[in-house]
Amino acid sequence: MFGEISGKLDAALKKIRGHGKISEKNVSEALKDVRIALLEADVNYKVVKQFTEDVKAKALGAGVLSSITPDQQFIKIVFDELRQLMGEGAREIAFASSPPTIVMLVGLQGSGKTTVAAKLAKRFRQKGRNGLLIAADVYRPAAVEQLATLGRSIPVEVYFEKSGAGPVDIAARGVEAARDRTLDYAIVDTAGRLHVDAEMMQELSETKSRIHPHETLLVADGMTGQEAVTIAREFASTVGIDGVVLTKMDGDERGGAALSIKAVTGTPIRYVGVGEKLDALEVFHPERMASRILGMGDVLTLVEKAQDAFDAKAAAKLEHKILKETFTLEDFLEQVKQLKKMGPLQDIVGMIPGFSKIKGVDLDEKAILRVEAVINSMTPGERRVPEIVDGSRRRRIARGSGIRIQDVNRLLRDFEEVRKMLKHVKKGRFGGLMKPFAMG
């Protein structure tokens, strides 16, 4: 996420970074590259123009030019403007004092409304909330069946009606069912179309007036860039929306929609979809995203992901093993599995401050699978005491895991380095465990 724009902005800011003195000339040169980077990232051109003008005006102020660290002041201005561009702060859905909290999802077909409905339901369930998913998309083939399948996997009940009922009536009766049962929430998966049209907007307006949602969220495909911004503007002016959920952001390296929507529509981004799994929905934090874009990392999100992924008892057991110097390949394999729960490796290391600037590091996701394959091909005794893995055992392990014997040698060598390092570690779970993932 934001990989392309992050790299280009970093290159642009190098013209300022490290300068003990800045002038209008080098500020203008840096902002020229910033402007190009933003436009190539498909950020709205009016937004780019205003952004660069605002940065320049503040950067050339007397307080910056006379500062002891003007380069750092300039980068802070860029950070602050990026943050403001995307919104003032994060805001999750607030539950109403009189249940149910009604959430209405709108958007075009293919944007991911049905999946987002299920992701929100899972998020609410993890907070101890009980609710109802309402299948009001009667036009897209198998939409009702898809929501029912997702509902069973959470699990959460799905309200649907037999064919013939209209989407407005289905939504209204579903909300009433949630109210009669005093459920905490009702999420309405509304009917979309392939394109914005008057009939859809009228239908959504009628639905909104019938169910009186507490939150109306537009679900838009983040990878469509300015098309998503145009769609958001039309929904905001016609139906009225309280926020945007940008989906497929794990595949969007440019970030044009994320950097444009708030400025163009006045509507904040509330959540971003970062994967297909039902827990791959994140609250949108403008300040964290700005930090990530500028290569400063995102430690808070990293910590939150770690807290969700790691079992407290298992962590305590691991710490005991480290202190007793009994850390084995079995323990290492367990840590690999825990790390995978946190999401794509590239995204995780992108949250580590400064990591994006390290050159020559190969972060191959398939390398994690190779590590698992090697360890799984070992006997329990070999995992506990890797020193017994001689030449013939290494050849057997290589055949069993389907990789080269050199990769087996590399894993064993790197693991030994990890064990040496852990002798000096008193606390923590991540130190040095990233290196074996760069297996070629």
Helix, coil or strand: residue 189: strand
Average pLDDT value for the chain? 83
pLDDT on residue 88: 80
Cα 335–Cα 354–Cα 88 angle in degrees, nearest 5: 100
Share of the chain above pLDDT 70, in %: 80
Choose among 51, 69, 60, 50: nearest CA to 24.
Answer: 60
Phi/psi region, residue 309 (left: phi>0; alpha: psi -120 to 50; beta: rest), is alpha
Cα 205–Cα 207–Cα 211 angle in degrees, nearest 5: 125
Q: Tell whether the model's pLDDT for residue 36 goes beyond 50.
A: yes
Q: Tell whether the model's pLDDT for residue 309 goes beyond 70.
A: no
Q: Tell whether the model's pLDDT for residue 212 goes beyond 90.
A: yes
Q: Is the dihedral angle over the CA atoms 166, 170, 173, 179 positive or is it negative?
A: negative
Over the stretch 67-105, which tens digit does the pLDDT of each residue have? 667 778 888 888 899 999 998 888 899 999 999 999 999
The residue that leads in pLDDT, 71 or 133, is 133
Q: How confident is the model at residue 423 (pLDDT cuts 50, 70, 90)?
A: low
The edge-to-edge listing of strands for the beta sheet with 131-135 is 157-159, 131-135, 185-189, 101-106, 215-221, 243-247, 269-273, 281-283
Joined together, the tokens standing for residue 287 give: 């300040």
Query: How many Cβ atoms from other residues are within 10 Å of residue 350's Cβ?
Result: 20
Over the stretch 139-192, which tens digit does the pLDDT of each residue have? 888 999 999 999 999 999 999 998 778 999 999 999 999 999 999 999 999 988
Taking the C-alpha atoms of residue 280 and residue 277, their distance in angstroms, rounded to an integer, is 5
- Is the separation of the CB atoms in 411 and 436 below 8 Å? yes
Q: Across-strand partners of 216? A: 104
Single-letter residue type at 222:
G
- Is the separation of the CB atoms in 131 and 158 below 8 Å? no
How are the residues of the chain apportioned to helix, strand and coil, as percentages rounded to the nearest 5? 55, 10, 35
How distant, in Å, are the alpha carbons of 34, 117, 359 from that of 7? 11, 33, 12
Query: How many Cβ atoms from other residues are within 10 Å of residue 12's Cβ?
Result: 21
Q: Tell whether the model's pLDDT for residue 343 goes beyond 50.
A: yes
- 316-339: string of b/e by CB count within 10 Å (b at 16+)? eebeeebeeeebbbebbbbbbebb
Highest mean pLDDT (candidates 143-147, 194-198, 327-331)? 143-147
pLDDT on residue 223: 87
Record the pTM.
Answer: 0.71
User: Which domains, and CATH codes, for the chain?
Assistant: 3-86 (1.20.120.140), 101-296 (3.40.50.300), 302-438 (1.10.260.30)
Q: What is the enclosing helix (H) or strand (E) of 300?
A: helix 299-309
pLDDT on residue 435: 40
User: Please, which contacts does 28-32 make with residues 24 or more away whose CB atoms are closer than 8 Å?
Assistant: 28/56, 30/74, 31/55, 31/56
Q: How confident is the model at residue 6 (pLDDT cuts 50, 70, 90)?
A: confident
DSSP-assigned letters across all residues of 269-297: EEEEE-SSSTT-EEE--HHHHHHHHTT--
Torsion of CA 384, 389, 393, 399, to 10 degrees: 70
pLDDT on residue 369: 80
Indicate the burial class of 401 (C-beta count within 10 angstroms; 0-12, 13-18, 19 or more). Answer: buried
pLDDT on residue 331: 80
How distant, in Å, are the alpha carbons of 77, 128, 132, 177, 180 from that of 99? 43, 14, 12, 12, 10
- Is the separation of the CB atoms in 95 and 129 below 8 Å? yes
pLDDT on residue 197: 86
Q: How confident is the model at residue 326 (pLDDT cuts 50, 70, 90)?
A: confident
Taking the C-alpha atoms of residue 96 and residue 125, their distance in angstroms, rounded to an integer, is 16
pLDDT mean over 216-236: 92
How many angstroms separate the most distant Cα atoms in the chain? 73
Q: Tell whether the model's pLDDT for residue 349 goes beyond 70.
A: no
Q: Is the dihedral angle over the CA atoms 335, 337, 341, 346 positive or is it negative?
A: positive
Weakest mean pLDDT among 6-20, 149-163, 315-329: 315-329
DSSP-assigned letters across all residues of 338-361: HHHTT--HHHHHHTSTTGGG--S-
**Helices and strands, number each (H, E), in the chain:** 20, 8
Q: Across-strand partners of 10? A: none
pLDDT on residue 305: 60
